[in-house]
């Protein structure tokens, strides 16, 4: 397996801006579609991934020279198909499936040559979402270890490179590569089918799919590493896939709730960073930049449901709803948010330290910084979030709000080296500079 | 695709309720969909006999290969569309309700005939002409000859690759009419565990990815008695790098009244019906 998928960021430096933008956009919208289609046609995950990577590499050299094709998705699909075919032939793989496929390709006269305009229409007629859903259900199969499901979904559906996923989960790249290899090998060896489960099995498989989509969405909302705060294409991908699940299971509440949660988070994407890509905290965001259409759609998904049907995604979506419903930061109903976090801790049976952290912050905002700091101190002494940057960052923020600049500065210095993305680190450095300036004796003191 | 289903108590067993045992319906369903190849119940742990050869010495012990309570009480070999169908079938087996079912795919051999199956056609109609044993071929992670197949674990170098090839053993035992059939399984990393609790089907990747020892394959033997079974097992190449476990079959009528059957069998539980290994060792020595 190789990780030759071009990162749009990496290519952008040497390409004309229009071509770079087209490449980036194609990567974000077409990667999973091309991979999913190739897995269906070749039955070979490695070949599908390698060929898709190869097609993007080819695009990066061809498009600047010949121009961006009218239909980049069809171009990439055809290029990837040809690469896959070459690779399978060179390997001498003679499965029935490949023989059948080669015969079909030969019959249609599309073997080997440059992308054929006829393929444009063919590629567009393929039920692309069907393929992607197949891919999602296969990547999230319960016979795979949970960590492999998330990794495989990010790699195969999201197009993230193995090294990025490894950083996201704090494991060496070789470990992550091995995990992905094993997962794909189990899919093949154990006979995990490449399909959407039949209706009677769908509900059982749903929780697992939602769990993985939630993790993908989270990675999009706040990247766990890198130069950018968000990976918008992952958030968009998670929303698209969740929409499909909602369509597939219109009576299930949790897919609706998860979609609402994602939409309400994603509605703020443009306001969460400034023009330079720097982090803008919630209370400083220009709320007119929030996407009102997405907010309306998200809120509309949160119609009344019986209490017994309320699940973790529903409660988290409602927390987002409280935030987006406030016209100004001061209008935020923090007490309502604290109540939701209490409910969430109850639903999750045994509070997650991350829920406790968010709840402590909400208490600090609702009842005063000291109450929040007390809750954070309890969490800190439990040691369950050791090394996690948002614990000292939350302490620093509440100390800053209550005017304890020196103590805040100490916490900021603690959290800065732990910050996983550059925008978060720079934001914390700016805050540190602010509290240092306010703590330092001014010239007129 | 063919799978072996192994039934065991699992980590959190709940008590077996004979009145709730619907194995007959389960078997009927399997038969009606043409998914069943062969299945048997195995005599309990105390009738297991473990065979190893170390430094040329034959080591035979009474009891199963593992000290854990994960002893296997029965198995089925099924031929179904894919893992989802195997999981669905496994989840309705009575053992899923009180224990767990391990779903293991068989090794797929390159160049195998497409119509070839693990269990030979017509096998179930064949009348037994001796005592039948299931022989588990148990691989050990640290074992010198632990690796069977293409990816059964960490590649462990062997002293003489030909030693690992069980084909000579298969040819000999097939020729004697001793080995009825057998095959190699995919490794524990390709296993899936299925159970059913409070109506909910639980599927997991299994806790055995890091197992020190695991069932790498099995053969069904037909012999005159335990002594011959030990002799046959001791000649298997895996006796030197791994372990062979011999388990007598324990046939029963799946449509029986299971409450009555359970009561009838109560007297047999905990009592070894096999001769003690020590008693047959002389016989084995004579036969070698």
C-beta separation of B43 from B55 below 8 A: no
Inter-chain touch A201–B88, beta carbons under 8 Å: yes
A318-351 pLDDT tens trace: 999 999 999 999 999 999 999 999 999 988 876 6
**E strand or H helix at A266, and its extent?**
helix A253-266
User: B144 falls in which pLDDT band (50, 70, 90)?
Assistant: very low
A14-65 pLDDT tens trace: 568 888 899 988 887 888 889 988 888 888 898 999 999 999 999 999 999 9
Give residue A439's pLDDT.
77
Domain count, chain B: 1
C-beta separation of B48 from B135 below 8 A: no
Find the range with the poorest average confidence among A255-264, A267-276, B118-127, B205-214: B205-214
Percent of chain A with pLDDT over 90: 53
- What's the token pair of residue A303? 């119609």
Residues of B whose CB is below 8 A from A190: 83, 103, 105, 186, 190-192
Residue B100: which CATH number? 3.30.70.1060
- What domain range is B92 assigned to? 2-287
First to last CA, chain A: 65
Inter-chain touch A185–B190, beta carbons under 8 Å: yes
Residues of A whose CB is below 8 A from B103: 190
A186 in reach of chain B (CB within 8 A): yes
Inter-chain touch B151–A145, beta carbons under 8 Å: no
C-beta separation of B147 from B139 below 8 A: yes
A318-328 CB burial, b ≥16 within 10 A, e <16: bbbbbbbeeee
Inter-chain touch A142–B204, beta carbons under 8 Å: yes
CA of B1: which chain A residue's CA is closest? A191
User: Is domain A16-90 given the CATH code 1.10.10 in the classification?
Assistant: no
Interface of A with B in 88-147 (CB under 8 A): 141-145
A179-213 pLDDT tens trace: 999 999 999 999 999 888 887 777 778 888 998 89
Inter-chain touch A143–B82, beta carbons under 8 Å: no
User: A117 falls in which pLDDT band (50, 70, 90)?
Assistant: very low
pLDDT at B148 over 70: no
Environment class of residue A107 by beta-carbon count within 10 Å: exposed (0-12), middle (13-18) or buried (19+)?
exposed
Q: What distance in Å separates residue A141's CA from the closest CA in chain B?
A: 9
Q: Which residue has the tokens 């799946």?
A: B254
Distances (CA, A) of B145 to A36, B149, B219: 39, 11, 18
pLDDT at A126 over 60: no
Give residue A329's pLDDT.
95
Inter-chain touch A197–B84, beta carbons under 8 Å: yes
Find the range with the poorest average confidence among A24-28, A380-384, B39-43: A24-28
- Reference B201, options A85, A63, A208; nearest CA is A208
Per domain, the residue ranges of chain A are: 16-90, 387-440
3-class SS letters over B100-145? EEEEEEECCCCCCCCCCCCCCCCHHHCCCCCEEEEEEEEEECCCCC
Across the interface, of B1, B81, B192, the residue whose CB is closest to A143 is: B192
Residues of A whose CB is below 8 A from B79: none
Residues of B whose CB is below 8 A from A197: 84
B185-196 pLDDT tens trace: 998 889 999 999
Inter-chain touch A143–B3, beta carbons under 8 Å: no
Give residue B49's pLDDT.
94
pLDDT at B143 over 50: no
CA of A204: which chain B residue's CA is closest? B201
Give residue A94's pLDDT.
54
Distance, CA of A127 to CA of A74 (rounded, Å): 13
A221-269 pLDDT tens trace: 877 777 777 777 778 878 988 887 887 778 889 999 999 999 999 999 9
Inter-chain touch B192–A189, beta carbons under 8 Å: no
A191 in reach of chain B (CB within 8 A): yes
Give the residue numbers in B contacting A (CB under 8 Å), as ranges. 1, 3, 81-84, 86-88, 103, 105, 151, 186, 189-192, 201, 203-205, 209
Across the interface, of B88, B151, B203, the residue whose CB is closest to A143 is: B203
Across the interface, of A141, A189, A197, the residue whose CB is closest to B105 is: A189
CA of A179: which chain B residue's CA is closest? B189
Q: What distance in Å separates residue B279's CA from the closest CA in chain A?
A: 42
Across the interface, of B151, B201, B205, the residue whose CB is closest to A185 is: B151
Q: What distance in Å separates residue B192's CA from the closest CA in chain A?
A: 6
- Average the pLDDT over B24-32 and give the result: 96
């Amino acid at each position: 397996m190789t990780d030759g998928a071009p990162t749009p960021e990496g290519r952008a430096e040497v390409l004309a801006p229009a071509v770079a933008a087209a490449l980036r956009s194609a990567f974000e919208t077409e990667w999973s579609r091309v991979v999913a289609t190739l897995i269906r046609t070749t039955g070979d995950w490695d070949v599908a991934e390698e060929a898709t990577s190869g097609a993007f590499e080819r695009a990066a050299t061809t498009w600047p020279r010949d121009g961006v094709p009218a239909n980049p998705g069809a171009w990439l699909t055809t290029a990837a198909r040809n690469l896959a075919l070459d690779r399978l032939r060179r390997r001498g793989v003679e499965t029935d499936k490949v023989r059948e496929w080669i015969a079909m390709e030969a019959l249609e006269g599309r073997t080997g040559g440059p992308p054929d305009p006829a393929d444009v229409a063919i590629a567009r007629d393929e039920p692309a979402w069907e393929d992607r859903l197949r891919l999602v259900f296969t990547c999230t199969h319960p016979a795979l270890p949970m960590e492999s499901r998330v990794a495989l979904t990010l790699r195969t559906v999201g197009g993230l490179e193995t090294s990025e996923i490894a950083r996201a989960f704090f494991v060496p790249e070789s470990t992550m590569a091995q995990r992905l290899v094993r997962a794909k090998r189990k899919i093949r060896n154990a006979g995990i089918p490449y399909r959407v489960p039949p209706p009677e099995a769908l509900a059982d498989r749903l929780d697992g799919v939602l769990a993985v989509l939630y993790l993908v969405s989270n990675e999009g909302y706040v990247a766990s590493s890198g130069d950018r705060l968000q990976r918008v294409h992952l958030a968009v991908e998670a929303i698209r896939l969740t929409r499909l699940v909602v369509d597939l299971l219109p009576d299930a509440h949790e897919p609706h709730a998860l979609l609402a949660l994602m939409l309400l988070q994603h509605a703020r994407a443009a306001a969460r960073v400034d023009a330079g890509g720097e982090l803008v905290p919630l209370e400083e965001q220009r709320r007119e930049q929030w996407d009102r259409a997405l907010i309306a759609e998200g809120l509309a998904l949160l119609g009344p449901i019986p209490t017994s049907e309320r699940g973790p995604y529903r409660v988290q979506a409602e927390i987002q709803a409280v935030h987006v419903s406030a016209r100004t930061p001061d209008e935020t109903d923090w007490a309502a948010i604290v109540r939701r976090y209490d409910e969430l801790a109850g639903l999750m049976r045994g509070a997650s330290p991350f829920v406790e952290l968010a709840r402590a912050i909400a208490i600090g905002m609702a009842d005063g910084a000291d109450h929040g700091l007390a809750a954070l101190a309890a969490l800190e002494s439990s040691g369950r979030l050791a090394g996690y940057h948002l614990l000292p960052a939350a302490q620093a923020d509440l100390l800053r709000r209550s005017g304890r600049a020196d103590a805040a500065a100490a916490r900021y210095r603690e959290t800065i080296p732990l910050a996983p993305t550059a925008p978060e680190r720079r934001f914390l450095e700016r805050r540190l500079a602010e509290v240092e300036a306010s703590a330092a004796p001014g010239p007129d003191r | 695709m063919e799978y072996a289903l192994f039934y065991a108590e699992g980590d959190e067993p709940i008590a077996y309720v004979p009145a709730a045992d619907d194995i007959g319906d389960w078997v009927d369903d399997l038969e009606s969909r043409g998914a069943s190849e062969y299945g048997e119940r195995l005599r309990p742990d105390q009738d297991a006999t473990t065979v190893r050869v170390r430094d040329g010495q034959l080591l035979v012990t009474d009891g199963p290969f593992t000290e854990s309570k994960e002893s296997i009480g029965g198995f089925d070999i099924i031929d179904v569309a894919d893992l989802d169908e195997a999981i669905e079938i496994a989840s309705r087996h009575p053992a899923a309700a009180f224990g767990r079912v391990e779903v293991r795919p068989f090794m797929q051999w390159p160049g195998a005939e497409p119509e070839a199956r693990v269990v030979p056609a017509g096998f179930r109609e064949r009348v037994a002409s001796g005592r039948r044993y299931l022989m588990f071929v148990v691989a050990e992670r640290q074992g010198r000859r632990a690796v069977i197949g293409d990816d059964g674990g960490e590649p462990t170098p062997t002293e003489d690759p030909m030693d690992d090839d069980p084909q000579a053993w298969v040819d000999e035992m097939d020729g004697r009419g001793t080995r009825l059939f057998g095959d190699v399984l995919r490794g524990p990393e390709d296993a899936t565990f299925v159970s059913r609790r409070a109506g909910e089907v639980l599927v997991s990747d299994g806790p055995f990815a890091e197992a020190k020892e695991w069932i790498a394959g099995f053969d069904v033997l037909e012999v005159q008695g335990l002594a011959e079974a030990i002799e046959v097992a001791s000649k298997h190449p895996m006796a030197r790098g791994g372990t062979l476990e011999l388990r007598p079959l324990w046939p029963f009528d799946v449509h029986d009244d299971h409450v009555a059957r359970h009561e009838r069998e109560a007297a047999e539980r905990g009592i070894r019906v096999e001769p003690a290994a020590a008693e047959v060792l002389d016989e084995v020595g004579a036969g070698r």
